[in-house]
């Protein structure tokens, strides 16, 4: 789980305007931060299969959002994956 301060920082870095907290770009960035924080947990706890299932659900949700963004706004998609370091 990410802290409230970390989440606020991620939202501030990826929002389109001052009150934006739920756009596709922000949702993808928050999910990426959660996924990255969980990866360290699984290096230490290799047998946490229930948590791994939750991680896979987060990854699939992020993939669906990325597909939606790629279909609707291709230039925003390209800048976002560069900024987050996804799909090298």
**C-alpha 46 chain-centroid distance:** 22
Which residue ranges in the chain fall short of pLDDT 70?
Answer: 88
pTM, two decimal places = 0.93
Number of structural domains, the chain?
A: 1
Residue 17 domain boundaries: 4-84
In this prediction, residue 1 carries a pLDDT of 84
CATH number for the domain spanning 42: value is 1.10.287.10
**Burial zone of 17 (CB within 10 Å; 0-12 exposed, 13-18 middle, 19+ buried):** exposed
Query: What is the distance between the alpha carbons of residues 3 and 59, in angstroms, rounded to a whole number?
Result: 19
DSSP letter for 22, please. S
In angstroms, the CA 28 to CA 55 distance is: 14
Q: Report the pLDDT value the prediction gives residue 88, as an integer from 0 to 100.
A: 61
The whole-number pLDDT of residue 52 equals 96
């Amino acid at each position: 789980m990410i802290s409230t301060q970390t989440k606020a920082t991620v939202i501030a870095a990826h929002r389109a305007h001052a009150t934006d907290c739920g756009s596709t770009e922000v949702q993808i960035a928050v999910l990426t931060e959660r996924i990255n924080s969980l990866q360290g947990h699984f290096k230490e706890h290799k047998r946490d299969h229930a948590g791994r299932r939750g991680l896979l659900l987060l990854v699939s949700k992020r993939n669906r959002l990325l597909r939606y963004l790629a279909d609707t706004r291709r230039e925003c998609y390209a800048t976002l994956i560069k900024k987050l370091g996804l799909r090298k």
